[in-house]
Amino acid sequence: MSASKSRDVTLVEAVNMALAWEMEHDESVVVLGEDIATNGGVFRATAGLKDRFGFKRVMDTPLAENLIAGTAIGMATQGLKPVAEFQFMGFIYSAMEQIVSHASRMRNRTRGRLHCPLVYRAPFGGGIHAPEHHSESTEALFAHIPGLRVVIPSSPQRAYGLLLAAIRNPDPVIFLEPKRIYRAVTQSVENNGDALPLDTCFTLREGSDLTLISWGASIMETLEAADLLAEQSVSCEVIDVGTISPLDRETLLCSVTKTGRAVIVHEACRNGGVSAEIAASIAEGAYLELKAPVIRVTGYDTVMPYYRNEQAYLPQVEDIVEAAKRVIAL
Amino acid sequence: MRKLHEFSVDSVRYLDDHGAPFGELPRQAEDTERVLAAYRNMVLTRTFDSKAIALQRTGKCGTYPSVLGHEVTGTAIGQSMAQSDVFVPYYRDQATHILRGVSLTELLLYWGGDERGSAWQNCPEDLPISVPIATQCCHAVGVAAAMRIRGEARAVVCSIGDGGTSKGDFAESINLAGAWHLPVVFMVINNQWAISTPRSVQTGAKTIAQKAIGAGLPGHVVDGNDYFAVIEALDHALERARAGKGGAVIEAVTYRLGDHTTADDATRYRSTDDLKRAWEKDGLKRLQSYLHTAGLWNPDRETRLQAECKAKVNEAVEAYLATEPEPPTAMMDTLFETLPDALKPQRDRIADKYRGGGL
């Protein structure tokens, strides 16, 4: 198998490629989670890893999310680099105590003596007709916690490069994979082990009238909205935030300083969402350049509906276009 | 009907309440130097404890959890561990930390509100004090899994109180230890009290140790005030673990002779009669009586030891009180390996605000 051959892959295949690359090149990388070894993961993100790297490095755990999070912490303090999978973000909550009270704090608590070079992966977001608890976007819960990085890829290339960066990062990373676009598109990804930078926004498209800011699966609708707006002579800059915490305010502020307008799009409900932090940062840092209020296009402040109504909850292209037209008119 | 499994849980003790052997002692009694070292550590721990409480009462230390009644269990853990083993503590393990090489000054710094109190250089792989109850159990199995993945002949000791065994973290962790055959010994220090909640409220099980059976591990009960019973159980469990024979749960039954912490008042929920009866079983005095009877100890040696322990503790207190606080910017400096750009303005703000020093 040629290691650096470029091929067209989906986002979930890119996750698999990154895991395999790093396991091949760093013996301290281990993966653990429910149904990830023999079965290869319910979304196939870890398919083939057990056969290549053996059960000592690819571990099926008992069905206990809190245990998975805490076990990864113990392993990390021993110099391993665990990549732990939570089957769905909706089941991560029993692990919150381990993540919030220990993974994020171990380095600080011991003044650098011990640290947690680990990655917690979880598929998140709606739109796949899944049962209850399989569709939420609660990334803001983690963005609020000091000591954590929260990274969200929105394309196969960024999934590959950001996951490599997350594994190599010496601190804990929450890596949230937008499962709605796990297989939505393929993209040519060179399997060369090149990581992408964390803590940095990705400017996907340059524009002059308006900055559209998003992350995860909503990037798809955001790009489509930018296309439609371009047809109407509205030039949109599109930014994929990539790492929602710590936030790359500089790129966001530079863009808004240029365009004077911003619309922030995310699937998660609005109240206390990461869009609020971004909007506040823009208000603090680019107030004089703003030509219109910052507008948010988000999910509603209600429970994620079961799948018959999930599209009614998720931000749609027309919602983004409508919001963009509103700020352009001001 | 077929019987698929049956079990029993034995309780082991060698000394009566006054330190007199019931019969033959385990081989650990032959190593008199080790037994004497255990006694010295118990006295040092108790001396430290009363000083730490006094410091708190005079505003020189924060909330502090007394270790009174845990000197035997904590000392036995420390003695049974090889330096290459890893200790995963809860928060009432002063006797063990001292034997692992944590300085008394570091212990005071921790409870005195300074993160440098966990920057232990002499036992760099030991996990820090874990305040959220039972959460450390999951770390212990993670450390043990790392040892097993690498094929090392090392083991982990995880300490936990009786209250902690009611939490999912304990159940999940002993379950994984059984399923993965991990080299980890869970040392349940059953001191009868989780703040005000007695052991009887924690579980309907006759013993805590029997929870191990459900996880596929051996479970043992020992008298936590009987040094020989505790050290024998720990030596045995750790030898097994290091030899790849899997983990164990040891329930050491003792009594929390102090308040939960300096912020607690145990007279609100337990009787003085109970406490008086518990003092009659004190493990430190019991070992002292044994040593006297065995001709290994005398009043002169006791006087010298008390003076040595006081001097050590006073020296540590002086060093603690003379330690300048970290600069306020330290709150940002070990959060990540490298401070992210996004946080630099906040660190600068702290540095500017406290340019002349801390508060």
Query: B91 — phi, psi (to 5°)?
Result: -140, 10
User: Which DSSP symbol is given to A304?
Assistant: P
Element containing residue A119 per DSSP (H, E): strand A119-124
Select from B128, B146, B147 the Cβ nearest to the Cβ of A109.
B128
Closest CA to A56 of A85, A20, A28: A28
Structural domain count, chain A = 2
Q: Is residue A197, in this structure, part of any structural domain at all?
A: no
CATH of domain B11-323: 3.40.50.970
Q: What is the mean pLDDT of residues A154-174?
A: 98
C-alpha–C-alpha distance, residues B353 and A236, integer Å: 40
Same domain? A248 vs A160: no
Residues A30, A161, single domain; the answer is yes
Does A249 lie in the same domain as A148? no
Q: What is the pLDDT along chain B (359 residues), one digit of tens a residue?
A: 999 999 999 999 999 999 999 999 999 999 999 999 999 999 999 999 999 999 999 999 999 999 999 999 999 999 999 999 999 999 999 999 999 999 999 999 999 999 999 999 999 999 999 999 999 999 999 999 999 999 999 999 999 999 999 999 999 999 999 999 999 999 999 999 999 999 999 999 999 999 999 999 999 999 999 999 999 999 999 999 999 999 999 999 999 999 999 999 999 999 999 999 999 999 999 999 999 999 999 999 999 999 999 999 999 999 999 999 999 999 999 999 999 999 999 999 999 999 876 66
Q: A205: number of CA atoms within 13 Å, CB side?
A: 23
d(CA B77, CA B157): 8
C-alpha to C-alpha distances, A119 to A21, A317, B12, B151, B265, nearest whole angstrom: 15, 32, 44, 24, 43
Catalytic residue among B220, B256, B286, B290: B256
Residue A94, token pair as written in the block: 């029993």
Q: Where in chain B is the domain with CATH 3.40.50.970?
A: 11-323
What CATH number does residue A258 fall under?
3.40.50.920
Q: Which of B116, B142, B336 is opposite residue A72, by nearest beta carbon?
A: B142
Q: Least CB-CB distance to B334: which of A94, A97, A111?
A: A111
Q: Tell me which of B85, B111, B121, B138 to substitute to probe the interface with A (most A C-beta atoms closer than 10 Å).
A: B138
B170: nearest CA partner in chain A: A67
CATH code for the domain in which residue A119 is found: 3.40.50.970
| Predicted structure pTM score | 0.97
Verify that A37 and A119 share a domain, yes or no. Answer: yes
Co-location of A167 and A256 in the same domain: no
- For the record, the structure tokens of A38 come out as 């023999």
The residues, any chain, with a CB within 8 Å of residue B110's CB and separated by 6 or more, are B117, B118, B129
A133 lies in the same domain as A239? no
A158 and A98 belong to one structural domain: yes
Asked if A168 and A244 sit in the same domain, the reply is no
- Is A106 in CB contact (< 8 Å) with chain B? yes
Nearest to B149 among A30, A109, A199 (CB): A30
Distance from CA of B217 to the nearest CA of A (A): 16
Tell me, yes or no, whether A142 and A251 share the same domain. Answer: no
- Say if A196 falls within a structural domain: no
A73 touches chain B (CB under 8 A): yes
Statement to judge: residues A276 and A158 lie in one domain = no
Residue A195 in domain: no
Closest-CA distance, B276 to chain A, in angstroms, reads 38
A70 close contact with B: CB closer than 8 A: yes
- Give the Cα-Cα-Cα angle A228, A137, A87 (nearest 5 degrees): 120
Same domain assignment for residues A181 and A225: no
| Known catalytic membership, residue A129 | no
Identify the domain boundary among A190, A223, A243: A190
Side-chain half-sphere exposure of A312, counting CA atoms within 13 A: 8
For residue B287, give the nearest of B50, B14, B3 by alpha carbon: B14
Domain region containing A181: 6-190
Residue A1 within any structural domain of the chain: no
* A314 half-sphere exposure, CB direction, 13 A CA radius: 24
d(CA B122, CA A194): 38
Instruction: List Cβ neighbours of A241 (8 Å cut-off, separation of 6 or more).
Output: A152, A201, A213, A214, A215, A247, A248, A252, A274, A278
At A187 the three-state DSSP class reads strand
Q: Which of A190, A224, A245 is the last residue of a domain?
A: A190
ipTM score above 0.85: yes
pLDDT band, residue A222 (cuts 50/70/90):
very high
Q: Given CB atoms, is B119 within the 8 Å cutoff of chain A?
A: yes
Q: CA of A70, closest CA in chain B: separation in Å?
A: 5
Q: In angstroms, rounded to a whole number, what is the distance separating the alpha carbons of residues B70 and B67?
A: 5
The answer to whether residue A155 scores a pLDDT higher than 70 is yes
pLDDT on residue B359: 61
Residue A17 maps to a domain: yes
A55 lies in the same domain as A172: yes
Q: Tell me whether residue A80 is in a domain.
A: yes
